[in-house]
């Protein structure tokens, strides 16, 4: 056993797992750029107040899950548990609202939550998130969900899109009152956490995963029955656009998301294989203003890359690996060949082993080389290379000057 171990919940990414991670990450980012989202790089540390103000002080993340510490001046800092709050802070601090009529940003990086490690979710995990500022229309909501649907389709992941509306400042107070009255009637069936939640943040009870709580709220009032005229029209338009885009969805009236800043549309993509949420988001029209910026409608989503990677069934084939194997005093020519192959975009290794051909090919097999490029005195003199297909054993002699024109 190694003398040192990684900290519990902090995970190394290597080998096949890393390949899946990179494939998922690269696919998501390529689609984000097609939808004209621009990248922003955020710090992993923010002042604690950024998350308390945005996420809400009575959420599980703020109360239980954040890594919080003091700097040398006694100020409370936190490792970021999610990306929206930092993006909003950056949007305001850098006055991005003054640059364009609307702004579409995406971020990528590690997040930190002190929770029980589980499959695809560690205490350090990676998220990619997209945030759009300055657009209030339901067309944006539909396009964001369309983007999520395309990500999952591109990765070959089967999922169900669930949607709901949780209203706004106008209509939510009446619903909150009705829900609180209902929860008072079923309080005996709620877990201890939800008994505390029902007075501080009753909507969070709807999101509880404890079976007794799920059963207790099965007949709870629905937010969609309390929507104001504007929210109802927004939600109806969203559904119409999703149908127009041929995006299958189902309404989940208990879907509220776990963060306080959401308004109107919330949505999740749930894996049909594992039944877990893999991408989630919603609209947050008041958050920019509440954090000190101008009134700005906004919407976003985030995806946990490790969890998403678990669901990828097929990866594209890797680029073939070439290994240049020199024999004799030909290293100058070998390096010339290596450079040429890399200039052609080939993945190339060079053998530093001093051994006969059999040993060299054994090494190539161990390194999972696809093509061995054999270079000896004859190849150097004739300005050629000999390529051996390690899968079939077939060999071919190619003129070095014509190498760029060959379909290797």
Same domain, 113 and 144: yes
Place 55 in a pLDDT band, splitting at 50, 70 and 90. Answer: confident
- Which pTM does this prediction carry? 0.89
pLDDT at residue 257, as a whole number:
74
pLDDT at 402 (0 to 100): 85
384 three-class SS: strand
Residue 106 belongs to some domain of the structure: yes
Which pLDDT belongs to residue 258?
Answer: 61
| Token duo for residue 135 | 């657009």
* Comparison of pLDDT for 150 and 357, the residue scoring more: 150
Q: Nearest 5°: CA angle at 368, between 367 and 373?
A: 85
The total domain count for the chain is 2
Q: Are 157 and 216 in contact (CB under 8 A)?
A: no
- Helix H or strand E segment including 365: helix 357-366
Look at 214-218, 278-282, 380-384 and tell me which has the smallest mean pLDDT.
Answer: 214-218
- CATH classification of the domain holding 392: 3.40.50.800
Answer whether residue 219 is part of any domain: no
Segments in 111-228 forming alpha helices (H): 138-154, 172-185, 192-200, 211-216
Q: Which range marks the domain in which residue 76 is found? A: 15-171+227-309
- 139 C-beta neighbours (distance < 10 Å), count: 12
Give tens-digit pLDDT for 185-207.
998 888 988 888 888 888 888 88
Does one domain contain both 293 and 363?
no
Structure tokens belonging to residue 345: 């975009």
**pLDDT band (50, 70, 90) for residue 93:** very high
Say if residue 95's pLDDT is above 80: yes
Average pLDDT over residues 95-122: 90
Domain boundary (256, 279, 309) is at: 309
Q: Label residue 156 left, alpha or beta by phi (over 0 means left) and psi (-120 to 50 means alpha).
A: left
Same domain, 264 and 374: no
**Phi first, then psi: what are they for 175, rounded to 5°?**
-70, -45
Residue 72 within any structural domain of the chain? yes
Share the mean pLDDT of the chain. Answer: 92
Report residue 134 CA to chain centroid gap: 23
List for the chain the helix, strand, coil content (%; round to 5). 40, 25, 35
Residue 158: which of 312, 359, 386 has the closest Cα? 312
pLDDT above 80: residue 62: no
CATH code for position 24: 3.30.930.10
74 and 110 together in one domain? yes
pLDDT of residue 2: 67
């Amino acid at each position: 056993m190694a003398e040192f171990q990684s900290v519990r919940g902090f995970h190394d990414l290597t080998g096949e797992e890393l390949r899946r991670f990179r494939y998922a990450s690269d696919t998501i980012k390529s689609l984000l750029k097609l939808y004209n989202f621009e990248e922003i790089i955020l710090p992993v540390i923010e002042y604690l107040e950024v998350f308390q103000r945005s996420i809400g002080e009575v959420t599980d993340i703020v109360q239980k899950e954040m890594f919080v510490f003091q700097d040398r001046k006694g100020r409370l800092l936190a490792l970021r548990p999610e990306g929206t709050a930092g993006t909003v802070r950056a949007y305001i601090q850098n006055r991005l609202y003054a640059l364009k009529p609307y702004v579409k940003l995406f971020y990528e990086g590690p997040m930190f939550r002190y929770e029980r490690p589980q499959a695809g979710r560690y205490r350090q995990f990676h998220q990619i998130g997209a945030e759009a500022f300055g657009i209030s229309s339901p067309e944006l909501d539909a396009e964001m969900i369309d983007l999520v649907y395309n990500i999952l389709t591109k990765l070959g992941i089967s999922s169900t899109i669930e949607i709901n509306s949780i209203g706004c400042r106008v209509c939510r107070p009446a619903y909150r009152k009705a829900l609180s009255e209902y929860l008072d009637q079923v309080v005996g069936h709620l877990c201890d956490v939800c008994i505390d939640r029902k007075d501080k943040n009753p909507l969070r009870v709807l999101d509880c995963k404890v079976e007794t709580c799920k059963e207790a709220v099965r007949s709870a009032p629905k937010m969609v029955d309390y929507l104001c005229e504007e929210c109802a029209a927004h939600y109806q338009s969203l559904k119409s656009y999703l149908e127009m885009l041929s995006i299958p969805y189902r309404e989940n009236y208990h879907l509220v998301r776990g963060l306080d800043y959401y308004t109107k549309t919330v949505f999740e993509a749930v894996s049909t294989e594992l039944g877990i949420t893999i991408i989630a988001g919603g609209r947050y029209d008041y958050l920019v203003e509440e954090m000190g910026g101008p009134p700005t409608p906004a919407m976003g989503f985030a995806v946990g890359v490790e969890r998403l990677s678990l669901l990828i069934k097929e990866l594209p084939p890797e680029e073939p690996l070439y290994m240049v194997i020199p024999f004799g005093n030909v290293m100058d020519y070998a390096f010339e060949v290596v450079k040429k192959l890399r200039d052609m975009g080939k993945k190339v290794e060079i053998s530093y082993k001093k051994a006969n051909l059999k040993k060299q090919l054994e090494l190539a097999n161990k390194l999972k080389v696809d093509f061995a490029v054999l270079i000896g005195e004859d190849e150097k003199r004739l300005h050629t290379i000999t390529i051996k297909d390690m899968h079939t054993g077939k060999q071919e002699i190619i003129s070095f000057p014509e190498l760029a024109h060959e379909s290797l």
